[in-house]
Chains A and B, each alone.
Chain A
Amino acid sequence: MFRRIDDAVRPAGITIWFEGQSLHAQAGDSLAAALLIHDAGAFRTTPVSGAPRAPYCLMGVCFDCLVEVDGVPNRQACMIEVRDGMQVRRQHGPAGVADDG
């Protein structure tokens, strides 16, 4: 849904994985931005009705961009930067206090 303004001194390209598919990203991208470039669709589904959600505020307020990152649920995609090899999955269901222990 989005494209880059092509004016940046390009940092190195990296690869992240979303639902098992490899996606190209750039160092410094927020995870939310990297997924929005690639039309990732819903980031999560809601615990109450299973409705699809994607980023609304992009500033850490709304929690609609919650995804699972490297096996850890409830991560705000707008608040973390991409890392090479990052494994990202949609989050389905409850998003209360994370228990990654």
Chain B
Amino acid sequence: MDSADVAIIGAGPAGLAAAETLAAAGASVVLLDEQQMPGGQIYRGIEAVQALRRQTLSLLGSDYAAGATLAKALRNAPVDYQPGSMVWDVSRDLVIHYSREGRSQGLHARHLLIASGALERPVPIPGWTLPGVMTVGALQILLKSDGLVPRVPLVLAGSGPLLLLLAVQLLKAGAPPAAIVETVPRRAYRSAARHVPRALQGWRSLMKGRRWIRTLTHAGVPWYRGCTNLRVEGADRATGLAFHHAGRTETIAADVIGLHQGVVPNVQLTRLLDCEHVWDASQRCFRPRLDDWLATTVDGVSVAGDGGGIFGAVAAEWQGRLAGLNIAHRLDRLPSAERDRQAAPMRAALARERTVRPLLDTLYQPPPDVLRPADEVVVCRCEEVSAGRIREAVRLGCSGPNQAKSFLRCGMGPCQGRICGLPVAEIIAETRGVDLDDVGYYRIRPPLKPLPLMELAGLAADNDPAQ
């Protein structure tokens, strides 16, 4: 089995920055990433876009273009970068199993840095399983990695900065949305107002947001604010979005509907390792408990980037460097005084990046009917389990997500609860009338993704000393 000082999972900003930091300290680094190109989702396709698609590069904006520096640093650093690697198991003794080019292999690392980022928060509304309904992130991925924009009517619905950013990008690409249907309730502006003074320290983000809103307003993109009761219309595919607005029910015809309610940490790996997790009430998600150096409660395992709580791409990069410094220290490649000296300005930069979050988290808090949808709404897309059946199971004595699995099979499909994990926990907590920390989350088991049996057989043969 191969071995390395450090294995990093994920080649987004956190993973790339950590790889650069650790390689510079002289550690042997293996960087595993599921995509074929570095950048993660935020800088997805950056190398190809920069080389081949100038118009796309300019409409994606300078924040996206910044990813090129990180990608270039990776290409110049002595890092064993293995794109196209799907990690399907990690054990507490830090043996990592991953599948690459149809073959599974093992890797032993002295330290593991998990930089697997965020997932889009699921948006379980009636009709969200219909073809044509996608996440806003998915629409942006099509733009970044394939240069595609919708050529049919599109509605963007929900809330959050990414929704507005994509609307601006599609507008610049000549494919503006037919409408923006925003779910931010009026009272959220009032409760968010008290976070404005602190957010002003990160005024650049605020100015950016203001620019987006102006651009969209000037372009005349129809914008419905304070909407509730969203419902996707259609039988075999999406044909429109219905919603309540200003006391009326509106319907907008659309073949593509982009949903968004922010992003949440991807906790599959930290859950698999049974790291301690805490419920983050302001971001309404679970996140792994991390110390000042971003180490989890499992020895040798750290988390950098949005996988430890949502703070965005720039913060993720600083976190990657910070975690990298500490791992280098623990590998005896960096004295503690030098680690602390280098870390000080990074911590300051990180603190600045965080100032805008309380405002965003308050303003864009997902509405209750998305967090805990109505009975008829499918929550587990894989096994087609509705919210009502989960509530019924709770009333019959099901007390947590793992029992819900055995009652209803929810979370047992191929996505392994990545989509339904949070809404199932929220529904159980609400029905039982207890806190999310008391309800907990699905136990995650290997393989993290379905794996062809042939590959497991091949792995066994490789490990057989008689071969």
Contacts and interface: CB of A to CB of B under 8 A. Distances in A.
**Bind each other:** yes
A30 B256 CA distance: 19
A63 B413 CA distance: 9
B281 interface: no
A9 interface: yes
A71 interface: no
B18 to A, nearest CB: 21
Contacts of B256: 1
Contact of B149 (A5, A41, A55, A100): A5
Interface stretch (B72-80, B289-297, B323-331, B452-460): B452-460
B135 A56 contact: yes
Contacts of A7: 53-56, 147
A56 B146 contact: no
Looking at chain A's contact residues, is the secondary structure mostly helix, strand, loop, or mixed?
loop
A88 interface: no
A91 B150 CA distance: 25
Interface stretch (B125-133, B239-247, B332-340): B125-133
B383 A48 contact: yes
A28 interface: yes
A1 B239 CA distance: 12
B383 A53 contact: no
B119 A3 contact: no
B95 interface: no
Contacts of B147: 4-5, 7-8
A36 B120 contact: no
Contacts of A48: 383-384
B52 interface: yes
Interface residues of A, number: 47
Nearest to B153: A1
Given A7-B53, A51-B384, A37 B141 contact: no
A70 B41 CA distance: 28
A4 to B, nearest CB: 5
Interface string B423-453: 0000000000000000000000001011111
B382 interface: yes
A5 B148 contact: yes
Contacts of B236: 41-42, 52
Q: B137, B145, B148 — which one has the most chain A CB atoms within 10 A of its CB?
A: B148
Contact of B41 (A56, A59, A79): A59
Given A51-B384, A97-B451, A58 B149 contact: no
A19 to B, nearest CB: 15
B162 to A, nearest CB: 13
A96 B142 CA distance: 27
Contacts, number: 146
Contacts of B129: 51, 53, 56, 64
B65 interface: no
B345 interface: no
A74 interface: yes
B26 interface: no
Given A1-B152, A57-B120, A72-B452, A29 B56 contact: no
Given A2-B142, A53-B131, A37 B148 contact: yes
Nearest to B415: A63
A67 interface: no
Nearest to B139: A58
Given A48-B383, A59-B141, A74 B414 contact: yes
B151 interface: yes
B353 interface: no
Contacts of A2: 142, 148-151
Given A4-B148, A51-B129, A52-B236, A95 B55 contact: no
A79 B35 CA distance: 7
Contact of A1 (B48, B52, B151, B451): B151
A78 to B, nearest CB: 8
A33 B381 CA distance: 21
A65 B374 CA distance: 26
Contact of B419 (A41, A58, A62, A97): A62
B138 interface: yes
A92 B131 CA distance: 15
Interface of A: 1-5, 7-9, 28-30, 33, 36-37, 41-43, 46, 48-49, 51-64, 66, 72, 74, 78-79, 81, 95-101
Given A33-B145, A54-B132, A61-B120, 17 more contacts: A3-B149, A4-B146, A7-B55, A8-B53, A8-B147, A28-B48, A33-B146, A37-B148, A43-B131, A55-B134, A57-B137, A57-B419, A59-B137, A63-B382, A95-B382, A97-B451, A98-B451
